[in-house]
Homo-oligomer: A and B are copies of this chain.
Amino acid sequence: MATKCEFCPLRRKSLFAPMSKEDVSNMQRFKVGELVVDPGTPILLEGSNSPQLYTVLHGMGLRSRLLSEGQRQVVNFVFPGDFLGLQAGVMGEMGHSVEATTKLTLCVFDRSELWAFIKADPERGFELAWLAAVEEHFLGEALTTVGQRTALQSIAWAFVRIYLRAHASGIASDGKMRFPFRQQDLADALGLSLVHTNKTIRTLKSRQLVGWGDDNIQIHDLKALAKIGLTTLETPKTRPIM
């Protein structure tokens, strides 16, 4: 039973820009169905050109790139509200792969309809650019982290960013959130080795700043983490949702 855009539970969250009634009905026409995939399923492949685009309704995943020697770079964590396939939609080719980490529920759109969709409502073209810019903004910050922060700073930064993002999406409160990833995933996101990542997380745990286990994160002292991570507590900026 597909969710109607009109009743989309995500759209109301503070993280997302409000949509007019017309936008919503336009969106609804563009939506061709809903897809549920199991954990571990690949959704989009680096270098490919998917015929479909997705918005994450529920669940979490990973965006990643592979290097010829087998190393993996996690480019971002996928949260509800994320739009998948934009690069393929506009450039014709994905720069990274996307896979499901939990069970994922996705709204499905046809890439071939994208152009008609935008023509019908030019504002959506603008918002597509907005979405891409949000991702670009994040990647610049991530690049700065991997390039300039120490391991301790990087991990503290990651906890802060992840928590604030989840909180703004309405899937975290009281410092508690679901985080169904492995230490290896965080290590690959920050360009650190698994062992060093583990020891660094341990340090933060022993200082009573965070807890992480059983797929859940518990932030005990967000402010202290932000200080260590050389970052701020500012809420993620509002973004459109497709």
Contact = CB atoms under 8 A, between A and B. Distances in A.
Interface of A: 63, 65, 67-69, 71-73, 75, 86-87, 90-93, 95-96, 115, 118-119, 122-126, 128-137, 139-144, 146-149, 188-191, 230, 237, 239
A91 B133 contact: yes
A189 B68 CA distance: 22
12 contacts: A65-B140, A75-B144, A87-B136, A90-B130, A92-B237, A95-B141, A118-B126, A122-B125, A126-B128, A129-B131, A132-B132, A146-B191
Contact of A146 (B124, B131, B141, B146): B146
A86 B71 CA distance: 32
Number of copies: 2
Nearest to A128: B129
B73 A143 contact: yes
Contacts of A149: 67
Given A95-B136, A119-B122, A125-B128, A141 B65 contact: yes
A174 B134 CA distance: 38
A191 B148 contact: yes
A180 B188 CA distance: 33
A143 B141 contact: no
A90 B148 contact: no
Contacts of A69: 230
Given A122-B125, A149-B67, A191-B148, A143 B139 contact: yes
A96 B140 contact: yes
